[in-house]
């Protein structure tokens, strides 16, 4: 092999697995070819070999976010950024400021995201049409709650969508009206599509640019692989072709496993199966980097969110006893999708947040798996509010959990008031999942939550706010995990969920050199300092694709 195909990383702390570290790596043709001490590796290569001095950095497998939305992440640029707003008025001010800054034409849609009323310091309520009319009356305004499952819109947006007192009931969603039957501007779950229907679709160039922007953001925090849900059936060819264009050109790139929504449609699911788009099928690869685009699971939604009180619970919400949330799809139809996808050799990932939803998903999966045997690696996305017996059933049938530890940043403030102390104590149960042997992967659902994996690791390890250390001992501290468990869930665990564990997720010979360089040793520093660590270099197949 010529020296230009070789490189060495030395003077590092290389993570090989729990409790095992080395100092240096040899990379050949984009893959790990040797691991050992500095002298051993440096002496194994000829003169002229590229040498990268890690200057004592921690080197781990590049992060792999098991569930996010790259296109949605890229689209947040140019929107009203409502994340972190502490009052309704602050959201409105941000909206007015954006209009002043961007000067959209009258009639152009103004969109936003990130609202979390649970964090408001004053009145904690949903925004209404009357609130958003104060942003603009000449632009249709649509702002989504931070979870993405509830949207708020102004009067013009309702008018543009033709939504008035006569708007019909939406199966699996709610279109809220006041005591006089007038729309309030609050839409939940399947009803969201009603107000978004008139919004102009992005042009192809816009989609490509926003995906590239999102990839650059991912690389900047050490993420080189993602499971991304950007497709909802009819747009599969368009989105997958845009990904191919990105990979065939210059610029930032991350590996993508496509998680494909089916909009509760038999026809969409049948289309995937008829085209033999089975899970794991490689859709784009290069000799240097291997698989860059793969077919992943079909994605189903079974319920909503805890914050929006649409997560499907077995018992009514403590703080809203008139509801227990709801399933967004009828049980027989859901089970039919699970069966048909399994017969078509397609992995299934189901959004389930409430304990009733988790129970229903596990029951459906038990019909297509057996103890210790889940060959298609069906999994539960989020898996937040849980009862011990359902976690035990997941472990027994090797059902995957694709979880987002950073969700606790918001949800620990509302969990007990929503579901009570007993159920709260068995929820967000990452420690129990590990002990039971459930295959776990970590992610962020970005842009729902911050993309930075080091923040997610901090939440998994400490279960407290990194800024103030509260609650002092951690929120239900028995569910903490150690740093190795968290790093593995963010690397090898996510690789397993995407059928990539034979070439990604570990630092060992033959695996692609997808690596993250971290400026602090998160295995050795005090756990409450993990959130201060930074990724300073990201590599994909041995090439530096981002660095400070």
Q: Which two tokens stand for residue 128?
A: 């209404």
What was the pLDDT predicted at 119?
87
| The pLDDT of residue 130 is above 90 | yes
Which of 81-90, 148-157, 520-529 reaches the highest mean pLDDT?
A: 520-529
Rounded to an integer, the average pLDDT of 369-380 is 97
Give the model's pLDDT for residue 175. 87
Question: H or E element: which one contains 511?
Answer: none
Specify whether the CB–CB gap between 216 and 224 falls below 8 A: no
- Fold match between 76-196 and 297-440+450-479? no
Q: Identify the residue whose tokens are 């564990």.
A: 501
Tell me how far apart the alpha carbons of residues 475 and 479 are, in angstroms, rounded to a whole number.
8
pLDDT at 216: 98
- pLDDT at residue 132, rounded to an integer: 98
Mean pLDDT across the stretch 71-97?
95
| Prediction pTM value | 0.93
| pLDDT for res 415 | 98
Domain ranges of the chain: 3-61+510-547, 76-196, 297-440+450-479
- Inform me whether the pLDDT recorded for 1 exceeds 50: no
CA–CA gap between residue 189 and residue 57 (Å, rounded): 44
pLDDT at residue 172 tops 50:
yes
Number of H helices, E strands in the chain: 19, 25
For the domain covering 76-196, report its CATH number. Answer: 3.10.310.70
Say if residues 239 and 71 touch (Cβ distance below 8 Å). Answer: yes
What is the predicted pLDDT for the residue at 364?
98
Residue 405 near residue 459, CB atoms below 8 Å: yes
pLDDT at 417 over 60: yes
Instruction: Please tell me the class of the 297-440+450-479 domain.
Output: alpha beta
Q: What is the average pLDDT across 466-484?
A: 97
Q: What is the pLDDT of residue 168?
A: 77
List the alpha helices (DSSP H) in 103-147.
129-132
> 3-61+510-547 is classed in which CATH architecture?
Roll (2.30)
Region of residue 172 (left: phi > 0; alpha: psi -120 to 50; beta: else) = left
pLDDT of 173: 86
Mean pLDDT score of the chain? 95
For the cut 80, the answer to whether the pLDDT of residue 233 exceeds it is no
Which among 403, 522, 525, 539 has a CA at the least distance from the CA of 61? 539
- The beta-strand segments (E) located in 315-356 are 348-352
| Closest C-alpha among 520, 517, 510 to residue 536 | 517
Read off the pLDDT of each residue in 249-256 and give the average, rounded to a whole number: 95
Per cent of the chain over pLDDT 90 is 89
- CA 395 from centre of chain: 22
What is the average per-residue pLDDT within 168-182? 87
Q: In this predicted structure, what is the pLDDT of residue 453?
A: 99
In tens, the pLDDT along 489-535 reads: 999 999 999 999 999 999 999 999 999 999 999 999 999 999 999 99
């Amino acid at each position: 092999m010529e020296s230009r195909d070789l490189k060495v990383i030395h003077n590092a702390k290389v993570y090989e697995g729990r409790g095992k570290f080395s100092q240096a790596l040899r990379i050949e043709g984009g893959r790990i070819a040797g691991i050992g001490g500095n002298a051993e590796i440096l002496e194994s290569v000829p003169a002229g070999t590229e040498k990268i001095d890690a200057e004592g950095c921690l080197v781990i497998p590049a992060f792999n976010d098991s569930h996010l939305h790259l296109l949605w992440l890229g689209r947040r640029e140019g929107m009203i950024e409502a994340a972190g707003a502490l009052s309704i008025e602050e959201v409105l001010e941000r909206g007015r400021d954006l209009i002043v800054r961007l000067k959209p034409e009258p009639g152009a849609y103004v969109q936003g995201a990130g609202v979390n009323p649970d964090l408001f310091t004053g009145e904690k309520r949903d925004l209404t049409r009357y609130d958003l009319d104060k942003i603009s009356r000449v632009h249709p305004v649509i702002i989504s709650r931070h979870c993405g499952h509830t949207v708020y819109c102004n009067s013009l947006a309702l008018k543009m969508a033709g939504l008035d007192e006569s708007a019909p009931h939406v199966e699996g969603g709610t279109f809220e009206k006041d005591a006089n039957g007038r729309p309030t501007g609050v839409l939940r779950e399947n009803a969201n599509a009603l107000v978004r229907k008139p919004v102009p679709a992005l042009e192809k160039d816009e989609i490509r640019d926003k995906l590239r922007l999102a990839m650059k953001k991912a690389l900047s925090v050490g993420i080189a692989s993602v499971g991304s849900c950007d497709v909802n059936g009819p747009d599969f060819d368009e989105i997958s072709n845009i990904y191919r264009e990105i990979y065939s050109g210059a610029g930032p790139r991350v590996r993508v496993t496509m998680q494909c929504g089916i909009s509760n449609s038999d026809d969409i699911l049948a289309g995937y199966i008829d085209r033999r788009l089975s899970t794991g099928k490689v859709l784009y690869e290069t000799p240097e980097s291997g698989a860059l685009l793969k077919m992943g699971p079909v994605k189903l939604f079974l319920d909503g969110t805890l914050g929006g009180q649409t997560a499907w619970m077995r018992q009514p919400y403590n703080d809203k006893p008139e509801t227990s949330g709801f399933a967004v799809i009828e049980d027989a139809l859901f089970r039919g999708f699970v069966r048909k996808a399994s017969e078509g050799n397609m992995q299934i990932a189901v959004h389930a947040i409430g304990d009733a939803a988790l129970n229903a998903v596990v029951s459906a999966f038990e019909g297509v798996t057996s103890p210790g045997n889940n060959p298609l690696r069906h999994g539960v996305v989020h898996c937040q509010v849980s009862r011990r017996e359902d976690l035990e059933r997941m472990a027994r049938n090797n059902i995957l959990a694709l979880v987002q530890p950073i969700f606790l940043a918001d949800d620990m403030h509302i969990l007990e008031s929503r579901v009570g102390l007993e159920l709260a104590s068995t929820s967000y149960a990452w420690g129990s999942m590990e002990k039971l042997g459930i295959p776990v992967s970590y992610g962020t659902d970005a842009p729902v939550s911050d993309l930075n994996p080091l923040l997610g690791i901090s939440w998994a390890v400490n279960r407290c706010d990194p800024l103030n250390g509260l609650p002092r001992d951690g929120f239900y501290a028995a569910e903490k995990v150690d740093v190795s468990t968290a790093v593995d869930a963010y690397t090898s665990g996510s690789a397993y969920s995407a059928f990539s564990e034979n070439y990604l997720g570990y630092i060992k010979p033959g695996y692609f050199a997808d690596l993250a360089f971290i400026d602090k040793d998160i295995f050795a520093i005090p756990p409450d300092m993990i959130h201060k660590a930074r990724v300073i270099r990201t590599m994909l197949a041995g090439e530096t694709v981002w660095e400070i």
